[in-house]
Amino acid sequence: MNVDLILEALRKTFPAETIEVRAMPVNETFVTLPPACIRPAAQVLVEQLNLRHLSAITGQDTGSEIELLYHFWDGRGLTLRASLPREEPHIATLTDLIPGAAFYEREVCEMLGVTFEGHPDPRALLLPDDWDGEAPLRQQPSPTPAAPRHPLPLPTLGEGGG
Amino acid sequence: MTRMTIPIGPQHPALKEPLSFLLTVEGERIVESVLRMGYVHRGIERICQNRNYVQNVHVVERVCGICSHIHTTTYCQGVEALLGLEVPPRALCLRTLLCELERIHSHLLWMGVLAELIGFTTIFMYAWRDREIVLDIMEELSGGRVAHAVNVIGGVRIDLDAEMSHSILVRLDELERQIETLLGVIQHERTFRARTRGVGHLSAEQVRRYCVVGPTARASGVDVDLRRDAPYAAYDQLDFRVITAEEGDVWARTMVRLLETIESLHLCRQLLAELPQGALTVRAPRRVPPGEVVSRGEAPRGELVYYIRSDGSDKPARVKIRTPTLTTLITLPDQLRDVNTADVPAVLAGVDLCIACADR
Amino acid sequence: MTDWLSALFALLVFPGFGFLFVCALAFQWIDRKVAARLQGRIGPPWFQPLADFIKLMAKEDLLPTGAHEWACAALPMVSLATVLTAALYIPVGGWVTSAFEGDLIVVLFLLSIPALAYFLAGWLSVSVYSVVGGSRSLLQYFAYEVPFLMALSGPAILSGSWSIARIAAQQSETVWMALVQPLGFLLAIVGLIGKLKRSPFDIPKAKSEIVAGPLTEFSGRKLALWHLTLHMQTVVGIFLLVNLFLGGPGIGLAVPAALIFGVKVLLILLALSVASVLYARLRIDQLASLGWRVLAPLALAQMLTIIWIGVG
Look at residues B307, B354, B346 and name the one whose alpha carbon lies nearest to residue B329: B354
Which of B12, B122, B345 lies closest to C39 in CB terms? B122
Q: Which residue of A has its CA nearest to B83?
A: A25
Which residues of chain B neighbour C128 with C-beta distances below 8 Å? 4-7
Q: Which residues of C touch A157 (CB under 8 A)?
A: 64-66, 126
Tell me: pLDDT of C251 over 70. no
What pLDDT digit, counting tens, does each position of B16-71 carry? 888 888 888 887 788 888 888 888 999 898 888 888 899 999 999 999 888 899 99
Tens of pLDDT, residue by residue over C113-134, are: 998 998 898 888 888 888 888 8
Whether residues C128 and A159 touch (CB distance < 8 A) is answered with yes
- What is the mean predicted confidence (pLDDT) over B124-152? 90
pLDDT tens, residue by residue, B72-127: 999 999 999 998 889 999 999 999 999 999 999 999 999 999 988 888 888 899 99
Domain regions of chain C by residue span: 15-36+46-311
Interface test with A, best of B26, B47, B222, B320 (most A CBs within 10 A): B320
Report the percentage of chain C scoring pLDDT > 70. 94
Point out the residue among B14, B119, B126 whose CB comes nearest to the CB of C202: B119
Rounded to a whole number of angstroms, the distance from the CA of C262 to the nearest CA of chain A is 44
Is the CATH code 3.30.559.10 the one for domain B3-359? no
CB contact (8 A) between residue C280 and residue B345: no
Torsion over CA of B208, B209, B210 and B212, rounded to 10 degrees?
Answer: 0
Distance CA B103, CA B97 (A): 10
Residues of C in contact with A160 (CB under 8 A): 126-132
Q: Does A55 touch chain B (CB under 8 A)?
A: yes
Give how far Cα A38 sits from Cα of A69, A93, A101, Å: 10, 9, 13
Dump pLDDT digits (tens) for C262-306. 888 899 999 999 988 888 788 878 888 888 888 888 888 888 888
Contact B191 C281 (CB under 8 A): yes
Q: How confident is the model at residue C48, as a pLDDT?
A: 92
Q: Which of B142, B22, B155 has the alpha carbon at shortest distance from B76?
A: B155
Confidence band of A152 (pLDDT split at 50, 70, 90): low
Q: Which chains have 3 or more CB–CB distances shorter than 8 Å to chain B?
A: A, C
* Interface membership of B159 toward A (CB under 8 Å): no
Measure the CA–CA gap between C177 and C167, rounded to whole angstroms.
9
Is the per-residue pLDDT at C52 higher than 70?
Answer: yes
CB contacts, 8 Å: B5 with chain C: 128
Q: How far apart are the first and last CA of chain B?
A: 40
- Neighbouring C-beta atoms of residue B250, cutoff 10 Å: 27
Question: What confidence tens digit (pLDDT) does each residue in C155-202 have?
Answer: 888 888 888 888 887 777 777 777 778 888 888 898 898 888 887 787
Is C66 near chain A, with CB under 8 Å? Answer: yes
Is B342 in Cβ contact with C280 (below 8 Å)?
no
For residue B260, pLDDT over 50 is answered with: yes
A152 and chain B: CB distance < 8 Å anywhere? yes
Asked if B22 is an interface residue toward chain A (Cβ–Cβ < 8 A), one would say yes
Contacts of B119 in chain C (CB under 8 A): 199-200, 202, 206, 208, 280-281
Q: Tell me what ipTM this predicted complex has.
A: 0.87
| Most B CBs within 10 Å, among A67, A103, A134, to test the B interface | A103
Which amino acid makes up residue B185? V
3-state SS, chain C, equals: CHHHHHHHHHHHCCCCHHHHHHHHHHHHHHHHHHHHHHCCCCCCCCCHHHHHHHHHHHCCCCCCCCCCHHHHHHHHHHHHHHHHHHHCCCCECCECCCCCCCHHHHHHHHHHHHHHHHHHHHHHCCCHHHHHHHHHHHHHHHHHHHHHHHHHHHHHHHHCCCCHHHHHHHHHHCCCHHHHCHHHHHHHHHHHHHHCCCCCCCHHHCHHHHCCHHHCCCCHHHHHHHHHHHHHHHHHHHHHHHHHHCCCCCCCCCCCHHHHHHHHHHHHHHHHHHHHHHCCCCCHHHHHHHHHHHHHHHHHHHHHHHHHHHHC
Q: What is the pLDDT of residue C78?
A: 92
Cβ contacts of A50 on chain B, cutoff 8 Å: none
- Kindly list the residues from chain C whose CB atom is less than 8 angstroms away from the CB atom of residue B189: 279-280
pLDDT band for A4, please (50, 70, 90 cuts): confident
Q: What is the per-residue pLDDT for B308?
A: 92
Using a CB-CB cut-off of 8 Å, the residues of chain A touching C131 are 160-161
CB < 8 Å to B232, chain A: 26
> In this complex, how many residue pairs, one in chain A and one in chain C, have their CB atoms less than 8 Å apart?
24
CA distance B17 to chain A (A): 15
β-strands A90-92, A115-117: how paired?
Answer: parallel
With a cut of 60, say whether residue B353 has pLDDT above it: yes
Task: Answer whether residue C95 shows pLDDT above 90.
Answer: no
Task: State pLDDT tens for residues A36-51.
Answer: 888 888 888 888 888 8
Helix (H, G, I), strand (E, B) or coil at B5: strand
For each of the domains in chain A, give its residue range(s) and CATH number, in order of start.
3-117 (3.30.460.80)
CB contact under 8 A, C126 and A158: yes
Q: Does A158 touch chain B (CB under 8 A)?
A: no
Which of A157 and C222 is assigned the larger pLDDT? C222
Non-local (6+) Cβ contacts of C97 within 8 A are C10, C15, C88, C89, C91
Q: Does C6 touch chain B (CB under 8 A)?
A: no
Is A159 in contact with C66 (Cβ distance < 8 A)?
no
More confidently predicted of B180 and C254: B180
User: Mean pLDDT across the stretch C76-86?
Assistant: 91
Confidence bin at C54 (pLDDT 50/70/90): very high
**∠ CA(A99), CA(A103), CA(A108), 5° rounding?**
125
SS in 3 state form for chain A? CCHHHHHHHHHHHCCCCCCEEEEECCCEEEEECCHHHHHHHHHHHHHHCCCCCEEEEEEEECCCCEEEEEEEECCCEEEEEEEECCCCCEEECCCCCCHHHHHHHHHHHHHHCCEEECCCCCCCCCCCCCCCCCCCCCCCCCCCCCCCCCCCCCCCCCCCCC
The predicted structure's pLDDT at residue A68: 92
Q: What is the pLDDT of residues B307-329, one digit of tens each?
A: 999 988 888 999 999 999 999 88
The reported pLDDT for the residue numbered A144 is 46
* Chain B residues with CB-CB distance to C285 below 8 A: 28, 340, 342
Contact status of C207 with chain B (Cβ, < 8 Å)? yes
Cross-chain residue pair C127–A160, CB shorter than 8 Å: yes
The predicted structure's pLDDT at residue A159: 41
Q: Is B312 helix (H, G, I), strand (E, B) or coil?
A: coil
Which one of B294, B305, B306, B341 would you mutate to disrupt binding with A, by most A Cβ within 10 Å of its Cβ?
A: B294
Q: Is the pLDDT of residue A145 over 60?
A: no
Helix (H) or strand (E) holding B320: strand B316-322
pLDDT of residue C40: 84
What mean pLDDT is reported for chain B? 89
Contact (CB<8Å) B121/C277: yes
Give CA–CA dist C310/C161, Å, rounded: 12
**From residue C42, how far is each of A48, B58, B125, C39, C213 by CA, in Å?**
62, 37, 12, 9, 28
The answer to whether A60 contacts chain B (CB < 8 Å) is: yes
Give the model's confidence band at A160: pLDDT under 50 very low, under 70 low, under 90 confident, else very high: very low
* Banded pLDDT at A157 (limits 50, 70, 90): very low
CB contact under 8 A, C280 and B340: no
Residue of B nearest to A78 (CA): B294
- Of B297, B230, B289, B228, the C-alpha closest to B85 is B289
User: Given CB atoms, is C126 within the 8 Å cutoff of chain B?
Assistant: no
pLDDT at C77 over 60: yes
Among chain A residues, the shortest Cα distance to C130 is held by A161
Mean pLDDT on B230-253: 88
What residues of chain C, 211 to 270, have a C-beta less than 8 Å from chain B?
211
- The residue of chain C nearest to residue B122, with distances taken between CA atoms, is C39
Which amino acid would we find at residue B213? V
Contact across the interface for C132 and B6, Cβ inside 8 Å? yes
Residues 6+ apart with CB under 8 A from C300: C150
Distance CA B313, CA B49 (A): 11
User: Would an 8 Å CB–CB cutoff place C62 in contact with chain A?
Assistant: no
Q: What percent of chain B has pLDDT over 90?
A: 39
Nearest to B46 among A30, A128, A136 (CB): A136
What are the two backbone dihedrals, phi and then psi, of residue A75, each rounded to the nearest 5 degrees? Answer: 85, -40
Average pLDDT over residues A47-73: 89
Average pLDDT over residues A126-154: 66
Residues in B closer than 8 angstroms to C277, CB to CB, are 121-122
Q: Between chains, do C128 and A158 touch, taking CB under 8 Å as contact?
A: no
Structure letter (DSSP) for residue B313: S
Residue B173, pLDDT score: 93
Residue type, A117: E
Residue C223 one-letter amino acid: L
Average predicted confidence (pLDDT) for chain C:
84
Per-residue burial over B206-218, b = 16 or more CB atoms within 10 Å of its CB, e = otherwise: bbbbbbbbbbbbb
* Contact state of C126 with A155 under an 8 Å Cβ cutoff: no
Dihedral through CA C199, CA C203, CA C209, CA C215, nearest 10?
-100
* Ranges B299-303, C72-76, C211-215, C251-255: which has the least confidence: C251-255
- pTM as predicted: 0.87
pLDDT at B284 > cutoff 60: yes
B31 min Cα distance to partner chain C (Å): 16
Q: Is B292 within 8 Å of A24 when comparing Cβ atoms?
A: yes
Chain B residues lying within 8 Å of A25, measured CB to CB: 78, 81-82, 291, 293-295
